[in-house]
Amino acid sequence: VRVYLFGDREQYRSFLDDVYPHLPGRRAYFVSVDGQLAVYAYWSDQTSEDLRHELTHAVLHASLAAVPLWLDEGLAEYFEMPADQNGLNPDHARKLAESLSEGWQPNLARLETFTEVSDMDRRDYAEAWAWVYWLLNGPPERRALLLSYLQTPRDDTGVTRLEPQLAGIVEHPGVALVEHLRSLTTPTPTAY
């Protein structure tokens, strides 16, 4: 994986406009072209976060034949957080808690249908993070299921589904995830 770190946003954007004019404006990118893996970013207050996110994509794509989009983004969102946060993204947790109060419900089967980044909005990224966070920070059987799923051979479409497998170990995964999300944003009472 080659990492290209530009001195500022203008140099970065100028390069991307010349080489990848179709890419929308983002602070960093992971790009895979003909087996060549590269990360592009520029120096800013978010450089560490951006590199953790994009290098997660790079490691996944260097290691696996195909990665389902939701999992690719969910893991990148998880690992972009500083190590001392153990993958907890308070902004995503807060956003999803607000969405729950508006009637939204998590739906892993829906996320698993996405094949293009343009299919996903910010809440989809947050939901992908939530599934990954819940799987990695829960009972060992959930973590083991995710690790096994990552190692499952799949074709270039990455269509092997996790949702049916997850339903085999957790009766109502969406309900369990909602409970977990609520626990992340519910203040803990302080005793005096």
The answer to whether residue 159 scores a pLDDT higher than 80 is no
Interatomic CA distance for residues 63 and 73, integer angstroms: 16
Please say if the pLDDT value at position 190 is more than 70. no
pLDDT digits (tens, 9 = 90+) for 10-42: 999 999 999 999 988 899 999 998 889 999 999
- pLDDT tens digits for range 62-112: 988 788 999 999 999 999 999 999 999 999 999 999 999 999 999 999 999
Pair 71, 128: CB distance under 8 Å: yes
Which pTM does this prediction carry? Answer: 0.89
